Structure 1
């Protein structure tokens, strides 16, 4: 009786499916999360460059408008490095398991009042 059950292949597809589906979903979740992190980083790079340029030339209002686009989840640090103004933006993604990762971008621009030319 047990010898007959050993050669019976009923249910093997279901067992394989039950093992493969969670692995595929985990990989898919990591890929989507990675793309989300990359898109968030690209946004921070772009905004930090614009904010650094605006503030370096004295347009604080335009810089605040750019920062308002990101919302209140972004921390802004400013640093003077010689004739440069450097802006660092730090943020965490909206939610999920990847929310524990911090994304950061730093951009510098020459101050126009320090003798820089356009």
Structure 2
């Protein structure tokens, strides 16, 4: 019988114990990676909604209607509009979706500008 298969071997089961010690770290890293993907997707949604809002504001649409449309694209989004010379800008902010980054209170923000007057 080899030394590894002897009943009294102190090394027996050490791989299982090491995996049990490392498994929570692997799960944590995986959760953080998935949370980062969620945050990036939310950022893309907010940027898309900000661009659409700026174009709508540039056409002369009502600010309240534009904000409502932005909230239909991104839930819990808040929008502010400002004018800078010939441009009208929309600033949107929204919290991260539920996950590790929302627990930290992270918000994503996007700003987009369009030429006022719809030209």
TM-score normalized by the length of structure 2: 0.80
Which structure is higher in helix share? 1
Q: Which runs of 5+ in 2 are unaligned?
A: 1-8
Number of equivalenced pairs: 108
Larger relative contact order (CA 8 Å, sep ≥ 6): 2
Q: CA RMSD in A?
A: 2.0
Higher mean C-alpha displacement, 44-53 vs 12-21: 12-21
Deviation of 1:62 after TM superposition, in Å, equals 6.3
What stretches of structure 1 move > 2 A for 4+ residues in a row?
Answer: 59-66, 94-97
TM-score normalized by the length of structure 1: 0.81
Structure 2 residue aligned with 1:11: 13
Q: Is this contact kept in 2: 1:90–1:102, CA < 8 A?
A: yes
Q: Which runs of 5+ in 1 are unaligned?
A: 1-6
